[in-house]
Amino acid sequence: RLERELVLAFDSGAQPVVILTKSDAVPDGGAVEAVAHVALEVPVLVVSSRTGEGIDAVRALIVDHGTLALLGASGVGKSTLVNRLVGHNVQRTAAVREGDDRGRHTTSAAELVAVPGGGWLIDTPGLRAVSLWSSGHGIERAFADVFDLMDRCRFRNCKHGDEPDCAVLAAITAGSLRPERLVSLKRLVAEEAAIEQEQRERTKDADRHPRHHRIP
Domain spans of the chain? Answer: 2-123, 143-208
- Contact indicator for 91, 83 with CB cutoff of 8 Å: yes
Span 2-123 CATH architecture: 3-Layer(aba) Sandwich (3.40)
Q: How far apart are CA 9 and CA 38, in angstroms?
A: 14
Averaged pLDDT in 10-residue chunks for the chain of 216 residues: 87 90 78 86 90 91 87 83 84 50 54 88 74 74 95 94 94 96 92 81 73 54
pLDDT for the residue 105: 45
Q: How far apart are CA 166 and CA 82, in angstroms?
A: 47
**Helix/strand/coil for 35:** helix
This prediction has a pTM of 0.74
Sign of CA dihedral 11, 17, 22, 26: positive
Sign of CA dihedral 21, 26, 32, 38: negative
pLDDT for the residue 97: 43
**Helix/strand/coil for 82:** helix
**DSSP bridge pairs for 67:** 120
Span 143-208 CATH architecture: Orthogonal Bundle (1.10)
